Amino acid sequence: MNVTVKVWRQKDTKSKGEFKTYKVHTSPDMSFLEMMDVLNTDLIKKGEESIAFDHDCREGICGMCSMYINGHPHGPLQTTTCQLHMRSFKDGETITVEPWRAKAFPVIKDLVVDRSAFDRIQQAGGYINVNTGGVPDANEIPIPKKVADEAFDAATCIGCGACVAACKNASAMLFVSAKVSQFALLPQGQVERKERVEKMVAQMDAEGFGACTNTRACEAECPKGISVTNIARMNREYFGAMLSSYEVESGGGVG
């Protein structure tokens, strides 16, 4: 099959970018990233500079293959770019490929963006304190299956940034709420529970992400199906933590 690919080319963060159009002969069975490999091979053979894009595992678990394809993060299917195949497109179709568009995700080059803002949010509070020593028995702390399932579902977030790319406000609420929820639900995460949500939300705001307006575009585009119920949980965690801080500072209850 033959496709036309309009790709965003940008030398660096400070340079002005533009779309460049290329013709690619590919197979319906190729993944989208394999198609990009073919395109880059063609460019190198012509003596042109290859297109920079992020990738690592190519198994849908690393979250690096961030491309905005035909108006959707990762493309027309609710999956990662590396798991998207060319059979999802038609022969002769024009495909537009862009980087994530968000203030907090500046373009490094072409389709590569700086997503270190997510790392800083995680470092602000996405951890638990544990005592070193012998390995505890797996059944030492019983956890109800429903709670364990909810925590695991939140923990499946791969931090790809599709939620930010999908949101009209470039909000990171789905990502942050997933990272808050996976610990807040478990007994091991209770020690830093209040401090965690305050620090992570503060860092999210400091990075310049937008506010959530509940359009649920993030949930619809998330390749791992992270639920917006995590955002509701994070809001409860946050307001509870802020109320506790107020009571401590005021030396008593509210009112």
Nearest CA-CA partner of 162 in 120, 218, 230, 110: 218
What is each CA distance from 38 to 28, 63, 82, 94, 199, in whole angstroms? Answer: 13, 22, 14, 16, 44
The residue that leads in pLDDT, 252 or 15, is 15
- What mean pLDDT comes out for the span 138-166? 93
CATH of domain 115-250: 1.10.1060.10
Contact status, residue 69 vs residue 162, Cβ threshold 8 Å? no
> Where on the phi/psi map is residue 240: left (φ > 0), alpha (ψ -120 to 50), or beta?
alpha
Low-confidence winner among 41-50, 192-201, 242-251 (lowest mean pLDDT): 242-251
Amino acid at 29: D
Q: For position 139, what pLDDT does the model report?
A: 74
CATH superfamily, domain at 2-109: Beta-grasp domain (3.10.20.30)
Contact criterion met (CB below 8 Å) for 180 and 194: no
pLDDT score, position 141: 82
Confidence label for 251 from pLDDT (cuts 50, 70 and 90): low
pLDDT surpasses 70 at 83? yes
- Distance, in Å, from the CA atom of 95 to the CA atom of 1, rounded to the nearest integer, reads 13
Do the two domains 2-109 and 115-250 of this chain adopt the same fold?
no
pTM: 0.91
Burial-class residue 155 by CB neighbours within 10 Å (0-12, 13-18, 19+): middle
CB neighbour burial string for 165-175, b if at least 16 within 10 angstroms, e if fewer? bbbeebbbbbb
In whole angstroms, give the CA distance from residue 54 to residue 193. 33
Split at pLDDT 50, 70, 90, the class of 250 is low
Side-chain-facing half-sphere of 202: CA atoms under 13 Å: 11
Question: SS3 string of 25-43?
Answer: ECCCCCEHHHHHHHHHHHH
| Cβ-proximal residues to 248 (8 Å cutoff; 6+ apart), any chain | none
Q: What residues does each domain of the chain span? A: 2-109, 115-250
pLDDT tens profile 230-248: 999 999 999 999 988 766 6
Residue 84 CA to residue 94 CA, distance in Å, equals: 16
